[in-house]
């Protein structure tokens, strides 16, 4: 058993002072606030927060960071650049890249990641000898980086949707598809879980899965977590309206795909009735503010969705930055820009979105510092040039990933004094990215 004491700890009831907490077998034991430190307690300066959940990641998109910013364009032109990276990955190079990317996440205080995985097959679209070689590489990468993972394995059947219906897969998209829902589900069912890895499902989008397949996906996905990209772009809404005569949210609802196990990613361009459908079903919504602004997607109705009953979580998605404080502030500041009012979400709500909201979305009993929960927590410095002077309950508004000093996952220290146990991560990233650049 390990015992800790800290001046400031974020508990489910709010920020508490002078807190002792214990960790046994990877879970929190007793948590007591307003008590003195005892001999043998390790002391944390700064603020202790629950570990962050990065609920929406495509690890390989990290290879595009700082390389797509020169030309005008849209989500769709960016996607062409993303496909070019996808075309170059194999299980070995993906392991190397994802290990470094997941390590970057742990440095940023992320203790669980939801990896939305659709890069399944080889460059010609054929299955690898192990049909789950790419997914296995991602799970191994997460384990080596010290972060929990829920692999959200995506069903992907068509190349897109326009007013005339679903398009065939283009050559790059062959890698994403299992050809049928049954083949997808059989492949996913063969993936083992472990104490630090879970398998969930994903529906890439209603662009990539025709209506005829939706009910079968809903059946096969249950009861595991199920994530879906939803209404990130107006073009998706227009195509679904033209071809199916409804909104993407209504299409999901019609086939039983909304509910507490479902997470809708983005939900940027949803209607008032979509918000009601999502909230009434208790569907979680995952916002990815740094991605949504980078890709010029728009600003989603976060407060309205939360008020409607949808839990909120956060993801760094395409990793234009990996910094949960940026996502937190993006969620809140985008709301301020829309509403022209300050404080749309309280600090406690923002911490919950960054932690417990994502843990629930990914099927883990964590993201909260409470007896019995997974002992995943981080320590944020309050003495850096960025954070000094901030009130402990408002430090999330001033800190960056660089202020994460300690990261503990299941009671094990992964990051100490801001250093990852694997050593310097930037050279790991550099090596993995150079390997991709060299590949034809
Ligand atoms: Zn995504």
Q: Above 90 in pLDDT, residue 438?
A: no
Q: How far is residue 177's CA from residue 183's CA, in Å, rounded to a whole number? A: 9
Candidates 317, 323, 376, 403; catalytic one: 317
Centre of ligand 1 from the C-alpha of residue 227, in Å: 10
pLDDT of residue 307: 98
Q: How far is residue 15's CA from residue 315's CA, in Å, rounded to a whole number? A: 23
Q: How far is residue 44's CA from residue 404's CA, in Å, rounded to a whole number? A: 12
Which residue, 230, 327, 251, 235, is CA-closest to 288? 327
Which residue, 323, 348, 358, 290, is CA-closest to 116? 358
Centre of ligand 1 from the C-alpha of residue 57, in Å: 7
Look-up: residue for tokens 């918000």?
A: 275
Centre of ligand 1 from the C-alpha of residue 265, in Å: 7
CA–CA–CA angle 320, 322, 325 (5° rounding) = 115
pLDDT of residue 81: 87
Neighbours of ion ligand 1 (CB under 5 A): 317
Q: Above 90 in pLDDT, residue 74?
A: no
Phi, psi of 285 (to 5 degrees): -120, 130
Active site residue 317: yes
Which residue, 198, 150, 201, 158, is CA-closest to 178? 158
Mind listing the pLDDT tens digit for each residue in 225-266? 999 999 999 999 999 999 999 999 999 999 999 999 999 999
Centre of ligand 1 from the C-alpha of residue 231, in Å: 11
Which residue, 42, 88, 47, 121, is CA-closest to 351? 47
Q: How far is residue 270's CA from residue 263's CA, in Å, rounded to a whole number? A: 14
Range 28-32 average pLDDT: 98
Q: Above 80 in pLDDT, residue 19?
A: yes
CA–CA–CA angle 44, 49, 50 (5° rounding) = 125
Q: How far is residue 198's CA from residue 97's CA, in Å, rounded to a whole number? A: 20
pLDDT of residue 70: 83
Exposed, middle or buried by CB within 10 Å (0-12, 13-18, 19+), for 5? Answer: buried
Centre of ligand 1 from the C-alpha of residue 236, in Å: 14
Structural tokens at position 45: 């300066």
Centre of ligand 1 from the C-alpha of residue 430, in Å: 23
Mind listing the pLDDT tens digit for each residue in 99-140? 999 999 999 999 999 999 999 999 999 999 999 999 999 999
Mind listing the pLDDT tens digit for each residue in 305-364? 999 999 999 999 999 999 999 999 999 999 999 999 998 999 999 999 999 999 999 999
Candidates 121, 266, 319, 334; catalytic one: 266
Centre of ligand 1 from the C-alpha of residue 381, in Å: 31
Active site residue 238: no
Centre of ligand 1 from the C-alpha of residue 205, in Å: 10
Mean of per-residue pLDDT scores for the chain: 96
pLDDT of residue 18: 98
Centre of ligand 1 from the C-alpha of residue 62, in Å: 12
pTM: 0.97
Centre of ligand 1 from the C-alpha of residue 26, in Å: 30
């Amino acid at each position: 058993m390990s015992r800790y004491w800290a001046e400031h700890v974020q508990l489910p009831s709010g920020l508490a002072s002078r807190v002792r907490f214990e960790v046994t077998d990877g879970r929190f034991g007793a948590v007591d606030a307003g008590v003195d430190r005892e001999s043998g307690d390790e002391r944390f300066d700064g603020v202790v927060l629950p570990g962050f959940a990065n609920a929406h990641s495509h690890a390989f998109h990290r290879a595009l960071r700082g390389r797509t910013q020169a030309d005008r364009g849209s989500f769709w032109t960016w996607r062409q650049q993303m496909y070019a990276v996808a075309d170059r990955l194999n299980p070995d190079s993906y392991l190397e890249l994802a290990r470094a990317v997941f390590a970057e996440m742990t440095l940023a205080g992320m203790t669980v990641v939801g990896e939305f995985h659709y890069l399944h097959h080889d460059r010609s679209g054929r299955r690898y000898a192990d049909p789950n070689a790419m997914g296995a590489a991602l799970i191994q990468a997460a384990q080596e980086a010290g972060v929990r993972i829920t692999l959200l394995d995506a069903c992907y059947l068509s190349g897109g949707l326009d007013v005339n219906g679903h398009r065939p897969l283009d050559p790059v998209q062959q890698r994403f598809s299992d050809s049928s829902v049954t083949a997808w589900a059989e492949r996913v069912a063969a993936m083992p879980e472990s104490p630090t890895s879970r398998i969930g499902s994903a529906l890439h989008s209603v662009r990539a899965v025709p209506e005829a397949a939706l009910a079968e996906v809903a059946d096969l996905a249950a009861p595991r977590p199920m994530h879906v990209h939803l209404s990130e772009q107006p073009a998706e809404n227009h195509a679904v309206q033209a071809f199916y005569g409804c909104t993407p949210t209504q299409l999901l609802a019609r086939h039983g795909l909304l509910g507490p196990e479902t997470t809708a990613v983005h939900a940027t361009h949803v209607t008032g009735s979509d918000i009601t459908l999502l909230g009434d079903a208790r569907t979680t919504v995952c916002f990815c503010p740094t991605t949504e602004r980078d890709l010029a997607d728009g600003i989603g109705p976060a407060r309205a969705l939360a008020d409607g009953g949808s839990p909120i979580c956060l993801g760094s998605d395409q990793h234009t930055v990996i910094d949960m404080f940026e996502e937190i502030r993006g969620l809140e500041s985008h709301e301020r820009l829309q509403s022209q009012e300050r404080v749309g979400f309280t600090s406690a709500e923002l911490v919950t979105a960054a932690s417990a909201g994502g843990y629930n979305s990914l099927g883990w009993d964590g993201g909260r510092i409470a007896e019995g929960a997974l002992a995943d927590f981080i320590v944020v410095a309050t003495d850096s040039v960025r954070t000094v002077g901030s009130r402990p309950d408002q430090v999330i508004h001033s800190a960056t990933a660089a202020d994460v000093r300690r990261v503990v996952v299941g009671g094990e220290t992964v990051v100490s004094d801001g250093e990852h146990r694997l050593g310097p991560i930037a050279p790991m990233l550099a090596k993995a990215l150079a390997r991709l650049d060299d590949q034809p």
